[in-house]
Structure formats: structure tokens, C-alpha cells
Structure 1
Amino acid sequence: MERDGPLDRATFLAGIAPACEPVVLRGLCGEWPATRAAAESRQALFACLGDFDSGQVAEAFVGDAGIAGRYDYAADLDGFNFVREAMPLGAALARIGAAADTPGDASIYVGSLPVEAFLPGFEREHRLAALPDAAVRQHVWIGTASSVACHYDTFDNFACVVAGRRRFTLYPPDAIGDLYVGPIDFTMAGQPTSLAAGAAPDDPRYPRFATARGRAITVDLEPGDVLYLPKLWWHSVEATAPFNMLVNFWWDEFASGSDAPYTSLLLAMIAISERPERERAAWRAYFDHYVFRGRGHPLAHLPEAKHGALGPLAQGNYGRIRAQVMRWLRGG
């Protein structure tokens, strides 16, 4: 789905967010100061960023010419095919600029840099009206032509192209079983990645990936374009120009409190995943009934006054259930 023109908070909440589907928002960040500076020249963009640079040391991903900018695991998951180097952001920008002028040489990028730490004040001039007022984290990604392995995020995302071009290849959350996901505790940048999506076509190790490939959505973004990417959608990201910059916003649009769903997933893994198949099936039925609620509220047959702890979370039940869970986890 694509949409042009401005996007305010009310329109986003009513017409886009509930579907939990990606949407391309053409030109939505085209009037940002950084986007306008990048359209003028790379030097103008660097000067714009320099006005906010706090001097913090960033971690850069650096790959030799042999990887052609494709950051990934090394063979047999034995390490990675790139190195990490620490350097001030200004030095990183200088190296990125030099590498961009020699395409085909070494690649370098700095990614997921929190704006509040590295570019304080930048966010005030680079906002989106569709975002909530609080609990939003802004990050920047700057580098040469590169490809980031297919992964998912546990937050909703606005990905905003400031300079260069980005190609996103998207897979829906329920494609996970066909993506051949790697380790969850040995990752390149925090999130598990799909081993199949970055492999050669028709790799015999990943026969089910053909199904996922048939469901892939490819999105090409130009400077000023924004991709709304709901949480848990798989995405590989290619920065296809010699020099590229992206700003993204992460937040949880439907959070009921401070607890993340991923925490519940990990707890369920250790509590349920190695039980007998028939017991796992029984717990699945209970999760479907109480958590996923495909048939509606589990106590819809009772008056709302009798729903007790299963009443609305905002009416104190969030805290009551959480307190009970914490007591159980502490052995109480």
C-alpha cells in the first residue's frame, strides 16, 4: 500500500495502524532540514549533522571489498564477515564519505545510533506528526552501499530515507517457519536473522524458503520517502546508492504497559517448549482462549461486572496480574 501527502496522528491511528500492514508514505520526510541538505550535497548534510554532533564514540561495521557490502555471518556461523571499529561519529562520517567515493572498495556504516546521545537536538527538527508524543526512540543509520540481513524488530517502525536509496524486502510474521532463522543469542546486531533469505537461490539447505520467497514484498524508497513497518515483519534492507542515510523511529503503538511481548515469549519457551506434544497442544488451546481471543473475550458469557482480573487492563487489572506473576516468579 502507498500513500502520498501529510499524515497526522488521528489519520494514522484510524486508517493505518490497526491493519498492521506495511505502508509506503511517499515524500513524508522530504521537507526535513537533513533531507534538503542531502539533496544539496553530501557536504551540506555532513555540516547539518555536525551542528548536532555530541562527539560520542560510535561502533562502525567495516567490511572488506570481498563481501560487497553484505554484512552477514561467516561460514558455518563461526563469527561474522565484518569487523567492528569504535570511532567518533565525525571520524566515521569522514571514512564513509571517502569509501563512498571509491565504490567497490571497503564498505562501512554506523547503524542504530540513538539520536538523543549522538545528535542531541536533531529530533526537534526531524519529527513525524503521526508519532505519539512519548516513548519514541529515534536512531540514525549512515553508510556506503550495504545489505543488512533479513530480521525482525519487536517495535513498530517508521523508516525515513534522508539520502541515497533503500530497498526493503518484506516477509509477513507468519513466514517465520520458512525463513530458517539463526540463533537468538548469537546475532549480528541484536535480532535473529533469516539464514535462507541471504543464501543463494534454491540453496538445498532451505527447501521451504521457496514458499516465503513467493510471499515477499519489495519496496524501493527514494529520499523523502518513509516506510511504516509494523513490529514482527521480517525485512532485509539494501542501501543501494554509494552513500546513504536513514532515520528511523521505534515505538510500541499498542503497549498496555512496560512489559514487552517478547519477554512473555521467552518465558513461554522455557516453561512449555519441551513438554510432550499433547500437553503443548493443550497449552496452545489455553493461550488461544485467554491471550489471542479468536472467539472474543473469554468471559463474554458473563456480565462485565463479573470479569474480575480479565476486565479491562486499564482499570487496574494490568498491575494486579503483573504483581501476581512477579510473586510467582520470585517463588511466592
Structure 2
Amino acid sequence: MTGHSPATIDGASLRDPAQFYAEVVAGCRPVIIRGLVTQWPITRAATHSDQALSAYLDQFAATGDVEAFIGSPQIKGTYYYNDDLAGFNFERRTMQLRDAIAAILSPPAMGDDTIYIGSIPAEAYLTGFAQANPMPLLAPAIAPRLWLGHASTVSAHYDTLDNLACVVAGERRFTLFPPDTIGNLYVGPIDHTMAGQPVSLAASSGDAGAYPRFAHARERMLVADLAAGDALYLPKLWWHKVEATAPVNGLVNYWWDAFAAGPDSPYTALLLAMITMSERPLAERNAWRAFFDHYVFRQDGHPLAHLPPDKHGLLGPLRQNYGAIRARVMHLLRNLH
């Protein structure tokens, strides 16, 4: 599988959050950041040996259960549905974090099975890790998460948050598809998933006969190959298939909403729009589309640009009106009759 590479910059050129936001995040496009975390202690430990990585993590690991994905040799590290999409081809197993780390970094402990743990919040499970491996490009409140496992493939999916993914051990390949290719990705169920988000069945299968429109998505595919120390900025809603290709692989990532005006997620609005609009007649859906384009997506600018700013009311600056609009929404939801 081939594809163009995202834009690439040198991590040493980024000095602070303002520059990171202006030069990387504002474009809403994936960017490879070479060498961003090469000097992190965890990256140096992993580069030395698996045993050094195990010892490094052990000094932070707190007591607590995590969910591990266990795969038999037959799946070759590709975590996915079973043939009828009713279940999955791997086992979920609750383990102590230290036991999971030991199983990953001491392969004989698992026999021929593979193991993978993901999205482990450092605040809860790795006390002091964030301070020892600081990320100066993000606000301190944006906390890291750890991903650790054997060679594996995670099916193409999207996240509803922006992502800074830092490879600290092994190698990773991200195969990326823009958000507007969703119609050509043959997306699976949204409520029966492997790890929260729906996946692209086409990007996982490779069966061109079953998924003919996938060829159009592949034409716009990007491929990012990362070594230990490299990072990828991945905007929200970009589809990404993640292949961890070394025998042992580790990643630290940060999720946050770079452009949030308040606590509510656009995904909440999407679900509400689904139940209020998706099965109305096409002509009515198109009418609502025009209103959404005018008031929400604003391709032609502010909907009240023809009025003085003091006449914009609820459509004035969002940071001033967020609470009032939210209160109106909650009132409407509570008074459905």
C-alpha cells in the first residue's frame, strides 16, 4: 500500500504552544514532527532495551487494573471483528498494570499470544510520568496516555479529539484518510466496536470486490512512518489505521479539543441531528442543510454580517453567548411538548 506522506517538520523547531498552534494545529492537517520526544527518558530507556523500558515504567506504575487485548497467533496481531461481525477475534482480559507490562516486555510469559494495552491515563496509573517526560507544546492540564504492546494492527477509525501521538518505542505506521472520505470507507457499527469508535471495514479488509468505492479513498490516502522519538499531530475526525511493526512498541499520546469554546462536543450535536433529521424527506433534509450551512458552517461568513455587531444578539461572539445558547438548548430538550 502506497500513499503520499503528510507534511514533515523538525521537532527542534517548535518552541512553545503558540508556535505549535500557529504552525501545526491551525491547518487541521496531519503533520509529522521528527525527533520531538527523542530526549524523553522513556524513549532513551526503550532504545536501550526492553528490560530498561520495563524498569523505567515500573518506577511509576501504580496499583490498578487495566484492560488488555490478547490475540492468538492466528490473528497475527490484527485486532478485529470475527467473520460475522457479531464478536471479536481477540480476548479482553483484566490485568494489573505491572503484570501487563511484564507480559508485553517478557514475551515468553505470553507464549505465542500477543498482548496490547492502550489509552492508559498517566494521571491514574503512572504517577510522576508526565513530569518526568514533559510536553512543552501543550497546556499542563492535557495529560498523557500510554499505549504498549507487541506488533499489532488497529483498524482505521477516527477520534473526536485532536491527537498528538509520540512514538517512544519501536515503529509505527499511520495510514490516514481525510474526514470527507467517510462515504467510501464502508464504516462498521457505531455501537458495537472494539474500543469505542467505529472502524472502516474496507480499510481493514482490502477486499476491492466487496468495497468498490474504497478505491476513491485510497487515492487520497496519506502514510506516516514514525520511528522512536517521532510524533504525529492528527486532527480530529481524520481516519487512521495504526500498525505497530516492531516486536515491542510504545506510544504516548495527548487528546484535547484544540478549538473548543466550551465543554460540549460536536459529536453530541451530530447524534442529536441524527435523531431529529436523518429520516425526514430529502427535500426537508436539504432545507435544513441550507440552514446549517448558513448558521453553523458559515462558508459565506457570519450570518449577520449585514447588521452592526451590537445587533447580533445570540449570534454575537460565541465566548460571550455560549452559556445563553446552551441554556436555550437545555430548555428545549426538557420541554419537548
TM-score category by the smaller chain?
over 0.9
Residue in structure 2 matched with residue 279 of structure 1 by the alignment: 284
Q: Unaligned stretches of 5+ in structure 2?
A: 1-6
State the alpha-carbon separation in 2 of the partners of residues 6 and 226 from structure 1. 13
Residues 260-299 of structure 1 mapped to structure 2, 5 A cutoff: 260-299=265-304
Determine helix, strand or coil for the equivalent of 1:77: coil
Alpha-carbon contact 1:100-1:242 (below 8 Å) kept: no
Which runs of at least 4 in structure 1 moved beyond 6 Å after TM superposition? 100-103
- Secondary structure, counterpart of 1:198 in structure 2: helix
Cα 1:100–1:268 change in 2 (3 A) is farther
Structure-1 separation of matches of 2:44 and 2:199: 34
**CA-to-partner distance for each residue in 1:142-186, whole Å, 9 max, x for gaps?**
000000010000010010000000000000000100000001100
Tell me what 1:146 maps to. Answer: 152
> Residue 54 of structure 2 contacts residue 105 of structure 2 at CA under 8 Å; is this kept in 1?
no
Letter matched to residue 281 of structure 1: N
Q: Secondary structure at the match of 1:314?
A: helix
| Cα distance change on mapping 1:62 and 1:149 into 2, 3 Å | same
Contact 2:172 2:225 in 1 (8 A): yes
Structure 1 residue aligned with 2:4: none
Structure 2 residue identity aligned to 1:268: A
CA distance in 2, matches of 1:313, 1:133: 25
Q: C-alpha displacement at 1:213, in angstroms?
A: 1.1
**Aligned partner of 2:124: which letter?**
A
Whichever residue aligns with residue 73 of structure 1, its letter is Y
Q: Is the 8 A contact 2:170 2:247 kept in 1?
A: yes
TM-aligned CA distance change 1:164 to 1:153, over 3 Å: same
Q: Supply the distance in 1 between the matched residues of 2:110 and 2:36 (Cα, whole angstroms).
A: 31
TM-score (norm 1): 0.96
- Asked whether the 8 Å contact 2:103–2:110 carries over to 1, the reply is no
Supply the distance in 2 between the matched residues of 1:273 and 1:81 (Cα, whole angstroms). 33
| Among 118, 122, 133, the residue aligned to 1:115 | 122
Q: Give 1:13's aligned residue.
A: 21
Tell me if 1:170 matches 2:176. Answer: yes
Whole-Å separation in 2 of the counterparts to 1:133 and 1:285 = 40
CA distance in 2, matches of 1:18, 1:231: 12
Amino acid at match of 2:277: I
Where 1:75 maps in the other structure, the secondary structure is coil
Q: Given that residues 29 and 235 in structure 2 are in contact (C-alpha distance below 8 angstroms), is that contact kept between their aligned partners in structure 1?
A: yes
Give the TM-score of the pair, scaled to structure 2: 0.95
1:132 partnered with 2:136: no
**Secondary structure class of the residue paired with 1:116:** helix
CA RMSD in angstroms, aligned pairs only: 1.4
Aligned length: 328
**What letter is aligned with 1:79?**
G
For residues 100 and 124 of structure 1, the distance between their equivalents in structure 2, rounded to whole angstroms, comes to 32
CA displacement at 1:102 relative to structure 2: 8.8
Percent of residue pairs identical: 59
Aligned residue in 1 for 2:199: 193
1:98 positional shift: 3.0
Letter in 2 for 1:174: D
**Partner residue of 2:260?**
255
| Unpaired stretches in structure 1, ≥5 consecutive residues | none
Q: 1:70 aligns with which of 69, 75, 78?
A: 78
SS at match of 1:298: coil
